[in-house]
A and B are shown apart, each in its own frame.
Chain A
């Protein structure tokens, strides 16, 4: 007897949202970025992690918004919060080591989890300037675990990102630029790093010793070979556990009837 939704009842965004939600454990302190991660965290709050503490970068500590904010600076973030303050508090709390988990995105990622949100092409003469780092490297530097949610295309899962905006497991030690393990560079501030990538094709983990990405589960309808072909680097597929767990009916109810009824971030599946 399964409470899982059938394939025609959910869309890709639902699957990603539920996979992201399941990365949170109860009582954790979580940094929420704008978009799908907000829905994912609030979904966890409604299901398996009722005591998680939500931080919105713009200044909300332990927020419980009754209506979905459209960004972390939204007026809705403040309702029901423990404190409404500013970035000095949220970033100090993060650097102090309170944050368990952060959700981030990116335009490109390499096999060590280095992520680019800054530019495509040579930084000094870019083909395309993107939004820039925002808090991506900060949350990723300070949190124990970071989950990246990404569109899976071959041009995005690359051997080398155009620009390392956010630090993975093997990073560059400046001023020389030698590649070192993150643990070596962060010293006493080392708490962890990228723990999962949830792409539109599958869910990936990282080997924390040598830092490489491996495929953990493939989404329903995808194959391991297909996903390996969608990476420019040689993807480790030796640890695949099987298919990504689909959303449950309860999760879909919370996403579409409670958290995001207006389809701000998660579209509803149109009935045929």
Chain B
């Protein structure tokens, strides 16, 4: 069988419609599909509903650009390069975005439920916190809980009916239209091989209706199938593939390149105001394509991020 799933970055972004729900691979400042995120901004998407296990620079780019109406997650920031998500914070203050808070484990279990085809998950995390405060059901207050893509309730409080283990919470499956992943290798038929930590990539890929994989390189399927036990996501779970070297920059990619901390620090420092964000977008997103972006970053900067292939990171000394 040879079904070529290759598309371009532009086509990948076109699959995401205004109002789509969307999620990503990666973890905070690692392995985020930023090249597609920039393209979503160039295509001026509106009304997106981001559902993320955790946020990061990709959240801040999309939120700053006004693409996002709803963000469901637990955390946003740039780790040590920026202590919180200043764009999200500003838009929350101006009531330009709805934020629904779950805990990190809850977000992960919500995606796990969706990936299992189950309507909800059960957990005992975060009991007693304001995350479970019924007054703070933001999507409920906004009348968004239609029981179709967004669960009718934020939580159900219950007790263990089997072993009397006490209070439990039920949390709705994370039903999401599109997952965009950024990985090291994908085969022509969609088999994915991820190196390093897997984060929540297998769960989000399976949970989404459409899964797009952006890879540093597209490799022959036959190469990946020689060692099937090293593969991470099966071919038929992936709908489209894109080859895009350095597609995660400024976030890092295990074995390929480190996080561009200086880029993130500048972004965090300069985009606390909308004017600051607009100037950033004008300089780094609009009027450029991916190659133009890499050319603007320049060889010396990119070589300085390049990981040592034996260590899988760029050693500091």
Contact = CB atoms under 8 A, between A and B. Distances in A.
Contact of A165 (B127, B131, B201, B313): B131
Contacts of A87: 27, 53, 104-105, 108, 199-200
A142 interface: yes
A233 B177 CA distance: 48
Contacts of B132: 174
B131 to A, nearest CB: 6
Contact of A86 (B30, B73, B129, B197): B197
Among all A-B residue pairs, the 7 with the closest Cβ atoms: A187-B166, A171-B128, A59-B197, A73-B27, A86-B198, A188-B165, A138-B105
B263 interface: no
Given A164-B130, A167-B126, A88 B197 contact: no
Contacts of A182: 128
Nearest to B254: A75
B30 A73 contact: yes
Interface in A129-144: 129-138, 141-142
A128 interface: yes
A59 B25 CA distance: 13
Contact of A189 (B106, B112, B165): B165
22 contacts: A58-B199, A67-B313, A85-B197, A87-B108, A94-B105, A123-B130, A123-B133, A126-B92, A129-B85, A132-B101, A133-B104, A135-B74, A141-B125, A166-B129, A167-B126, A173-B128, A174-B133, A174-B157, A185-B128, A185-B166, A187-B160, A187-B167
B199 A59 contact: yes
Contact of B80 (A71, A167, A174): A71
Given A163-B130, A171-B129, A129 B197 contact: no
Interface string B20-34: 000000111110000
A45 interface: no
A100 B254 CA distance: 29
Nearest to B83: A131
B287 interface: no
Interface stretch (A4-12, A16-24, A76-84): A76-84
A47 interface: no
A221 interface: no
A57 B129 contact: no
A56 B254 CA distance: 15
B198 A164 contact: no
A43 to B, nearest CB: 18
A262 interface: yes
Contacts of A138: 103-106, 125-126
Contacts of B198: 59, 84-86
Contacts of B128: 164, 167, 171-174, 180, 182, 185-186
Contact of B74 (A78, A132, A164): A132
A74 interface: yes
A133 B163 contact: no
A137 B126 contact: yes
Interface residues of B, number: 78
A262 B261 CA distance: 15
Interface string A27-58: 00000001100000000000000000000111
A91 B196 contact: no
Interface in B55-107: 55, 73-77, 79-80, 83-85, 88-89, 92-93, 95, 99, 101-106
A163 B126 CA distance: 13
Contacts of A134: 54, 74-75, 104
A208 to B, nearest CB: 15
Interface residues of A, number: 68
Nearest to B194: A86
Interface of B: 26-30, 53-55, 73-77, 79-80, 83-85, 88-89, 92-93, 95, 99, 101-106, 108-109, 112, 123-136, 138, 141, 155, 157, 160, 163-167, 196-203, 252, 254-255, 258-259, 261, 307, 311-313, 315-317
A199 interface: no
B91 to A, nearest CB: 9
A75 B166 contact: no
B215 to A, nearest CB: 17
Interface centre among B105, B136, B163 (most CB of A within 10 A): B105
Contacts of B261: 70
Given A34-B79, A133-B104, A73 B28 contact: yes
Contacts of B201: 86
B92 to A, nearest CB: 4
Contact of A88 (B102, B103, B123, B200): B200
A104 B4 CA distance: 47
A76 B157 CA distance: 39
A175 B252 CA distance: 41
A88 B133 contact: no
Contacts of A177: 133
A248 B283 CA distance: 50
Contacts of B109: 91
